[in-house]
Amino acid sequence: MLRQRLLRLLKENKGEYISGQKLSEQLNVSRTAIWKHINELKNEGYQIEAHRKMGYILLSEPDLLTYEEVSPYLSTNFLGKYYMHKLVIDSTNNFAKEIASNVPDGTVIIAEEQTAGRGRLGRSWISQKGCGIWMSIILKPNIQPKEAINLTQLAAISVVKAIEEVFHVESKIKWPNDIILNNKKVCGILTEMSSEIDKINYVIIGIGVNVNCDNFPEELKGKATSLYLETNSKVDRKKLTASILNNLEFYYNAYLQKGFEYIRPICIEKSITIGRQIKVIANEGEIEGKAVTIDNNGSLVVETKEGKRLSIMSGDVSV
């Protein structure tokens, strides 16, 4: 695409002028076409100055999670190769569901803002404009439907590893789908699936990370936080997005090749739940006891005060 090639050239020469003549020669298009695309980029927030003799200079890029902005940090083979970016959407998971059957494995959908972001069980997910990573990843794994719960764990460790890698901050996983930083929720994961009895059509992993958010509604104060609030510095959403995808592809491949056993020790190491006295609201009802481990299926093992061990596949944990 011309636009992408033009942007690449401007980025390669960031802070330096590049003449309209040179751009038109290298891209093999007219100077008018260049000028038209430059104007489009400027409208999207790229700060580009034009000088009659010297040409164009890129001064800064917008804080947007477009493919052009995230891909320089991506090292994946298939995740995010098909990538859609929206300024506003109701929910990236809703949109992913609409398109899932017609797009390749590893498709990523990212929005700057969600007007109806969703949590589990019909709960809502606050997704303010430009301050977080609100994304859905479509996967088409050849695994049994009951194994899909493992993918939530894969996403959780990928987010924890990415936060560690990019910002050197240690977060923890509250089984099964919350990432916790200093006792507050910084990220939530919503995994949804379409399947037959023994075959998955697709899985959608929805990941919401509060990155630079600094203003939560009253009911979330004390419960929710962002990387910005915890580290006191504005955080690069582009690098974090790419690192989550890089890690997810790595752990996903490892999981498909070696099974959940490979992932399990990391889930246990990064868990904030294990070892604690907890209450779980699960399909089986309300269960109280000590979280002892995560088993080979990814279920949480809870020991009740009667000494009975229960394996729980999903639920809401409170400590």
**Residues annotated in a binding site for biotin:** 91-93, 114, 118-120, 185
Contact predicate 256/141, CB 8 Å? yes
In the numeric block, the tokens 């093992």 are attached to 301
The residue within the footprint of ligand BT5, chosen from 20, 55, 117, 315 (CB under 6 A), is 117
| Rounded Cα–Cα distance for residues 188 and 190 (Å) | 7
| Rounded Cα–Cα distance for residues 31 and 305 (Å) | 76
Is 306 in a helix, a strand, or coil? coil
| Rounded Cα–Cα distance for residues 288 and 274 (Å) | 13
| 271 lies in the site for ligand BT5, by CB under 6 A | no
| 175 lies in the site for ligand BT5, by CB under 6 A | no
Part of the chain binding ligand BT5 (CB under 6 A), chosen from 114-122, 233-241, 244-252, 260-268: 114-122
Q: What's the one-letter identity of residue 128?
A: Q
Residues in the chain, how many? 319
| 268 lies in the site for ligand BT5, by CB under 6 A | no
| 205 lies in the site for ligand BT5, by CB under 6 A | no
| Rounded Cα–Cα distance for residues 132 and 111 (Å) | 9
The residue within the footprint of ligand BT5, chosen from 7, 46, 85, 118 (CB under 6 A), is 118
Nearer to ligand BT5 by Cβ, of 55 and 188: the residue is 188
Is 225 in a helix, a strand, or coil? coil
| Rounded Cα–Cα distance for residues 37 and 249 (Å) | 33
Nearer to ligand BT5 by Cβ, of 41 and 111: the residue is 111
Query: Binding to ligand BT5 (CB under 6 A): which residues in 30-89?
Result: none
| 120 lies in the site for ligand BT5, by CB under 6 A | yes
Residue 145 Cβ, how far from ligand BT5 at the closest point, in Å? 20
Give residues in contact with ligand BT5 (CB under 6 A).
Answer: 91-93, 114, 117-121, 123, 125-127, 134-136, 177-178, 185, 188-190, 206-208, 210, 220, 224
